[in-house]
Copies of this chain bind each other. A is one copy, B any other.
């Protein structure tokens, strides 16, 4: 029942034997993307191939001969209007379009337009200290699930959880000495009792607002995806999530940029199967 024909398998095999040439970073918040954009001297794409009149922001650049793109969902126009006379501690005016719907749209459109060899969903996350996480850790993700898609009908329940593997990168994991864990995704920054039960039932270490949606789209369009998630708040710590998130955002996005840079340097010149 799978969508792979023999042609797909041949395509994947031949692609895994040539060096990776195009990487797309999918990043939800401008504040998470900016350090990486600065580090690699990426430029904002003016006539974006992702479509006209959209809030999406695309950056592009070259690192040696590796094409790097960073795509962000940009600011929400609807809340931006209310926001005009307000202030925020998160850089830039307006509200970043966080969550699964904008993330799935930019993933879809950037795969179609940019044909990347690999996607990297990078961002901040919450994590459990009982699972060994500390503030500022950058995790590689083993696999992803959703914790807010409860559909109590047989088989629909599994669809809702949506377990998917990240692309396996054993050499990258070892070389960069990263922590690894399962990521659980939901559209809320906070965690309801029912979210918590499902996160624990699924044995997740990390909690974010986009990962499993990015994985879903990557699987639909058959593009390998990995996840770099930097811990801004400890879910089982003693501080409120929103406060801890805002307090740690700047420092943690800098740690995320450092790891993403190491990942780019590791990827450069390698094939998918070298990872």
Contacts and interface: CB of A to CB of B under 8 A. Distances in A.
Interface of A: 1-3, 8, 51, 53-55, 76-84, 86, 88, 94-95, 97-101, 104-105, 108-109, 112, 146, 148-156, 158-160, 162-164, 186-190, 192-194, 213, 216-217, 219-222, 241-242, 245-246
Given A2-B77, A220-B54, A101 B98 contact: no
Contacts of A192: 150, 192-194
Nearest to A112: B51
A12 to B, nearest CB: 13
Contact of A88 (B53, B155, B160): B155
A100 B98 contact: no
Contacts of A194: 192-194
A77 B94 CA distance: 37
Contacts of A2: 77, 81
A76 B159 contact: yes
Contacts of A213: 101
A217 B162 contact: no
A79 B187 CA distance: 22
A151 B188 contact: yes
B188 A150 contact: yes
Nearest to A219: B78
B160 A188 contact: yes
B84 A150 contact: no
A190 B1 contact: no
Given A1-B84, A153-B189, A192-B193, 15 more contacts: A3-B54, A3-B55, A54-B221, A88-B155, A101-B213, A101-B216, A104-B104, A104-B105, A108-B108, A149-B187, A150-B188, A150-B192, A153-B246, A192-B192, A193-B194
A152 B190 contact: yes
